[in-house]
Amino acid sequence: MPLIRSTYGKGRVRIMRVKRDTERHEARELNVTVLLTGAFDASYTSDDNSSVIATDSIKNIVNIVARDNVGAETEPFAAALATYFLDRYAHVTQVDVTATETKWVRIAVDGVPHEHSFVLDSNGNPFVKLAATREGVSMTSGIKGFTFMKTTNSGWENYWFDEATTLKPTADRMCATAMDASWRWAKAPASYPEANAAVLATVLKVFATTYSPSVQNTMYLMGEAVLAAVPEIAEISMACPNKHYLPIDLSPFGRSSDGQVFTPTDEPHGQIECTVGRG
């Protein structure tokens, strides 16, 4: 039986980099997966391991590259990691790197961000996915679980009605999501952190200031605005589960909800996805 395809590597390599060459330290924590593709078939189809770079060695290389690139943002760090393998191992044809960030933000002391003390920022986990060969690199940045909501300025009306429809239309509802999004770079921006921050700021501005007739329409408008704001992005993909807040029936207790008391639920949820690109 033929071996159709294969890849292998090391997952969940956790690394904290602290750039401390000045009094203002920079802390960057990542969870890294490295997968290698190349001339490794013999290790699957026979007992020949001679070409296999041990996964423990791959973990060590992540640590080495981290030490050599302490101050690098996630995207350049992922690129440096892939380059290390391609430069040193001729039989490696492709390196796939996924690096997910644990975000730390500075503690404010009397309104001033502290130089070396941080608190965990739990809203969303940024990530980078990079696929590198000797012919080229494909780079994608993104975020998982970026959660936001608004208490009004959202509705759901004029949808398909048939015998299975029980949901009542409304022009005024809460709207919330925990967005997974990724954006593919056409070229490198002047600053990845600034460009990535602009993506999220643009998404939130559209969400907060635009009436939402549907999550679908809001996602499309957010994608359009991101592409206008960050010209280095080729396309953006978003998945937005519709986290529901259901009005509670308080009539048995002689009270009305009046759009003020809800039951939060995210199971089951509407799953809405789209990709917006340049024409």
- Assess contact for 83 and 72: CB atoms under 8 A: no
Give per-residue pLDDT as tens, 189-198: 999 999 999 9
Among the options 59, 129, 243, 244, which is catalytic?
244
Give per-residue pLDDT as tens, 135-148: 999 999 999 999 99
Give per-residue pLDDT as tens, 6-55: 999 999 999 999 999 999 999 999 999 999 999 999 999 999 999 999 99
Output the pLDDT for position 225. Answer: 98
pLDDT for residue 174 is more than 80: yes
Query: pTM for this structure?
Result: 0.90
User: Quick one: pLDDT band at residue 219, thresholds 50, 70, 90?
Assistant: very high
d(Cα 174, Cα 244) in Å, to the nearest integer? Answer: 8
Q: What stretches of the chain adopt beta strand conformation (E)?
A: 8-19, 26-38, 92-102, 104-109, 112-120, 125-132, 137-150, 175-185, 233-247, 262-277
Give per-residue pLDDT as tens, 92-149: 999 999 999 999 999 998 999 999 999 999 899 999 999 999 999 999 999 999 999 9
d(Cα 63, Cα 230) in Å, to the nearest integer? Answer: 32
- Assess contact for 259 and 246: CB atoms under 8 A: no
Among the options 10, 59, 129, 243, which is catalytic?
10
pLDDT for residue 257 is more than 80: no
d(Cα 144, Cα 24) in Å, to the nearest integer? Answer: 28
> In this structure, what token pair is assigned to residue 125?
């986990």
Output the pLDDT for position 3. Answer: 95
What letter represents residue 220's amino acid?
A: Y
Q: Is 244 a catalytic residue?
A: yes
The rounded mean pLDDT for the chain is 95
Among the options 19, 33, 37, 55, which is catalytic?
55
Give per-residue pLDDT as tens, 265-276: 878 999 999 999
> In this structure, what token pair is assigned to residue 108?
């404010």
Quickly list DSSP for 90-135. Answer: TTEEEEEEEEEEEPEEEEEETTEEEEEEEEE--S-EEEEEEEE-SS
Q: Is 243 a catalytic residue?
A: no
CA distances (Å), origin 245, targets 114, 124, 262, 268: 37, 21, 6, 12
